[in-house]
Amino acid sequence: MKWQPKLLMALPLIVFLMMSFFLFKGLGQDPQYMPSAKVGKPMPTFTKTSLHDSARTLTNQDLHGHPYLLNVWATWCPSCLVEHPALLQLAQSGVRLIGLNYKDNRQAARQYLKLKGDPFVETLFDPEGMLGLDLGVYGAPETFIVDAQGHIQHRFVGVITQEVWETELKPIYDILPRSSPGNTSIEPPS
Amino acid sequence: MIKYLADIFTVKIASLMSVFNTTVWVRCLLLLWVMVGSILAQASINTFEFETPAQRQQFLDTIAELRCPKCQNQSISDSDAMIAQDIKKKVYDMFQAGHSQADILEFMIERYGDFVTYRPPVRRNTWILWFGPPVLVLSILGLLFFRVVRKNRRTTLSSSTNMSVNEQDFENLLKRYEDQS
């Protein structure tokens, strides 16, 4: 009984090398990363009230016409507080920010913006989190880049910092056409 | 509410027992009451109500099929994360509205991607997931089969041509065996 030694003896080594390769590749990956199912798709249809005025309803039409950043935030979310100064800075530099107040209390959220400053040209109030669900949101903060036609171009999960903005988001936001022929009721801050 | 009533009764019985002589069966009754109370209290946590046990089972099956996007090693049914509660509620609402399980899974995949199901659809980019393992097993079996066939052929070949050597070996072995015994 004589085995063919070469291939068989090399087998453990081959298996080891393959495992090392995949494990090493796994090291560099963010296990929390999930590809978004919504990138490239239109913004889901919604009818929400404005956070600041419960009598005012906002729909997709109100946001179309200019690209914007849709920022999902809440007062119960500590990371949102961390990212807030960066958002204020973005708003100051002329980026059009729309807030999506996610599963929150209207009074608390308004108080929060009054205290910390309001970077949003408009904030949608989504207490049930159903617009969040339609967007595939699973936590806060999350930020979507939406173009002037209302298509989602990018999704970012986590805290926006100046660095994240410069390296990941700005390059996408900047190449979007500034406006589309469609009319809009909410102008970008100038 | 039920738990509250159960607590009141438990206290009442306990105070009654301190007045009367406590016998073993009264203690048993008390224990039983406490157990029933705790079961009722647990039942009241579950807010989803169904008309038939089959509907309930379908709901439970569906939320076990969905993976929690926030807490990635748990299913929606296992998780208490906020998003898991929302998804459970949405699944419940959709069932109540008459949607099928397939509809609901499709709805969730549309929003959270293939990641959200434990059974991703068979598509070009999931082929390796579905067909990889059987192909691997089959190819290993095939390789083994091929080797065995080849070896059998070689041993029959060698035994016919090198008979003298084998006979020599055999005789050597015999001799060694005889020496030892």
Q: Is residue A24 part of a domain?
A: no
Q: For A140-182, how does the pLDDT look when each residue is reduced to its tens digit (9 = 90+)?
A: 899 999 999 999 999 999 999 999 999 999 999 999 988 765 5
CA A3 to chain centre: 58
Q: Confirm if A133 and A142 have CB atoms less than 8 A apart.
A: no
Q: Which residues of chain B have a pLDDT value below 70?
A: 1-23, 26, 28, 34, 36-46, 157-165, 181
- The structural domains of chain B, with segments of one domain joined by +, span 2-43, 53-121, 126-180
**Sheet architecture: strand order including A97-102:** A57-59, A47-50, A122-126, A97-102, A68-73, A142-146, A152-157
CA dihedral A154, A72, B75, A34 (to 10 degrees): 20
Q: Confirm if A28 and A21 have CB atoms less than 8 A apart.
A: no
**CATH number of the CATH domain containing A142:** 3.40.30.10
| A34 interaction partners in chain B (CB closer than 8 Å) | 69, 112-113, 115
Q: For B76-109, how does the pLDDT look when each residue is reduced to its tens digit (9 = 90+)?
A: 999 988 899 999 999 999 999 999 999 999 999 9
Of the CATH numbers 1.10.8.640, 2.70.150.10, 3.30.70.3040, 1.10.3210.50, which one belongs to the domain with range B53-121? 1.10.8.640
* Residue of chain A whose alpha carbon sits nearest to that of B68: A138
| Cβ of residue A14 closer than 8 Å to a chain B Cβ | no
pLDDT of residue B161: 57
Nearest to A96 by CA among A117, A73, A123: A123
Which residue from A32, A134, A138 is facing B83, i.e. has the nearest CB? A138
- In DSSP notation, chain B reads -HHHHHHHHHHHHHHHHHHSPPPHHHHHHHHHHHHHHHHHHHHTT-----SSHHHHHHHHHHHHHBBPSSSTTSBTTT--SHHHHHHHHHHHHHHHTT--HHHHHHHHHHHH-GGGBSS----GGGHHHHHHHHHHHHHHHHHHHHHHHHHHHHHHHHHHH-HHHHHHHHHHHHHHHHHH-
Q: Is residue A125 part of a domain?
A: yes
Beta bridge partners of A42: A151
For residue A42, give the DSSP letter. B
pLDDT of residue A50: 96
First to last CA, chain B: 88
| Count of the separate structural domains present in chain A | 1
Complex confidence, ipTM = 0.78
Residue-range definition of the domain harbouring residue A58? 47-174
Amino acid at B82: M
Kindly report the nearest CA distance between residue A154 and chain B, in angstroms.
14
Q: Cβ B113–A37 below 8 Å, yes or no?
A: yes
What's the CA gap between A1 and A82, in Å, rounded? 70
Greater model confidence, A124 or B23: A124
Q: Cβ A138–B69 below 8 Å, yes or no?
A: yes
pLDDT category of residue A134 using cuts at 50, 70 and 90: very high
Q: For A56-90, how does the pLDDT look when each residue is reduced to its tens digit (9 = 90+)?
A: 999 999 998 999 999 999 999 999 999 999 999 99
Q: Is residue A75 part of a domain?
A: yes
Kindly report the nearest CA distance between residue A18 and chain B, in angstroms.
15
Q: Kindly report whether the peptide bond that precedes residue A141 is cis, defined as omega within 30 degrees of 0.
A: yes
Q: Is residue A147 part of a domain?
A: yes
Kindly report the nearest CA distance between residue A103 and chain B, in angstroms.
10
pLDDT over 70 percentage in chain A: 92
Which residue from A35, A38, A133 is facing B86, i.e. has the nearest CB? A133
Q: Is residue A68 part of a domain?
A: yes
| Window from A92-106, A112-126, A142-156, B123-137 with minimum mean pLDDT | B123-137
| A129 interaction partners in chain B (CB closer than 8 Å) | 82, 86
